[in-house]
Structure 1
Amino acid sequence: MNKDQQPVVLGKIGASHGVNGWMKITTYTDSVTGIFDYSPWLLNERGQWREVKVLRWRQQGKGVIASLESVDSREQAQILTNCEIGVLQESMQNLPEGDFYWRDLIGCEVTNTNGYNMGKVDQILETGSNDVLMVKANVKDAFGKRERMIPLVMEQFIKNVDLLEKQILVDWDPDF
């Protein structure tokens, strides 16, 4: 891995599961098993990324557990608790035209249909009914806002996403 490459974080290692080195996996993918569509995994241990191989995995209740190469005991699994799981950008699946990854929206400028600059996307929240853009307002926002929550509902509120220009056009009142 090139030093300049930053892996895309798809999850993290949770608590150990059993005595044979299995561990719970917290996933940030759409489906709980989607993290296993990516290979190889990279683990972030104390700021250093290293490649690991998933030997086996299975769904366990509403979550998933996995066994990694060279992790044979509960103690070895516990050492990895809270390590981030990432993959290289090249491992990410190409999306159809008009689709995007959440990470692509972070940092985009948000402007409403009247030309008002509402700030930049700081994060995205999953609420169940629809995702929400958390837009950090500009320092001298005319409406005194610090942040705005804009539903990530295409066509209704999100009129256009231009990833090349890092611009999002919204139909949203800046005072709301």
Structure 2
Amino acid sequence: MAAGDRLILVGRIVGLHGVAGEVKLESYTDPRMQIFRYEPWVLCSAAGEQEISGCRGREQGKGMVASLPDCADRDRAAALVGSEIKVRRSMLPMPRPGEYYWTDLEGLDVVTVEGVALGRISHLLATGANDVMVVRDGERERLLPFVLDDYVKTVDFDAGLVTVDWDPEF
């Protein structure tokens, strides 16, 4: 699968709203209403995948409510609760210089500026201070701050490599 065809998780259907088939959403986009700008959605559940376009939504209190095409009753909507909402990577805008999508960093190898291999980025975590890379090498897991210039010196997608200023013993 080409990188642009890779499916990226952008939200989840978490509940029902009313009797007309509307659903409650949890959006992982920032801002959260941005989820409606990316189409088509691929809804993924235990029942399989289905691609849909034409979703509309609104903010409702602290949550979000969506109307989905071909979903006009509560029973149809109930079948979708728990579905992950994914979009193709190619639907997302290009990041600005110095910004990265976490999904693009996952799977890259990490080495120190001295060339010591630390492992591969498993995933990233959001913390109050900065994002953190979870780097695994099979034996060990390291948590490295994703702070450009201070710790992260280069990100080279062509080489599949992130170079960091980090003590391999830490």
TM-score by length of 2: 0.87
Taking only aligned residues, the RMSD between alpha carbons, in angstroms, comes to 2.0
Kindly provide the CA deviation profile for residues 94-117 of structure 1, in whole angstroms up to 9, marking residues without a partner as x: 223343211111111111122211
What is the one-letter code of the residue matched to 1:152? F
Helix, strand or coil for the counterpart of 1:35? helix
Q: Which residue of the partner structure matches residue 82 of structure 1?
A: 82
Q: How does 1:110-129 map to 2 (within 5 A)?
A: 110-129=110-129
> Following the alignment from structure 2 to structure 1, what is the Cα–Cα distance between the partners of residues 30 and 166?
27
Identity of aligned residues (%): 37
1:153 aligns with 2:116: no
- Range with greater deviation from structure 2 (118-127 or 33-42): 33-42
Alpha-carbon spacing, 1:54–1:16, altered in 2? closer, same or farther (3 Å): farther
Q: How does 1:98-137 map to 2 (within 5 A)?
A: 98-137=98-137
CA contact (8 A) 2:6 2:88 kept: yes
Q: How does 1:3-14 map to 2 (within 5 A)?
A: 5-14=5-14
Query: Which blocks of at least 5 consecutive residues in structure 2 are unaligned?
Result: none
Query: Which blocks of at least 5 consecutive residues in structure 1 are unaligned?
Result: 140-145
TM-score by length of 1: 0.85
> Following the alignment from structure 2 to structure 1, what is the Cα–Cα distance between the partners of residues 150 and 63?
33
CA contact (8 A) 1:23 1:65 kept: yes
Q: Which residue of the partner structure matches residue 173 of structure 1?
A: 167
Kindly provide the CA deviation profile for residues 47-85 of structure 1, in whole angstroms up to 9, marking residues without a partner as x: 633221344211123332211011122222111011111
> Please, which of 150, 153, 158 is the counterpart of residue 164 of structure 1?
158
* 1:118, distance to aligned residue in structure 2 (A): 0.7
Helix, strand or coil for the counterpart of 1:33? helix
Q: Which residue of the partner structure matches residue 93 of structure 1?
A: 93
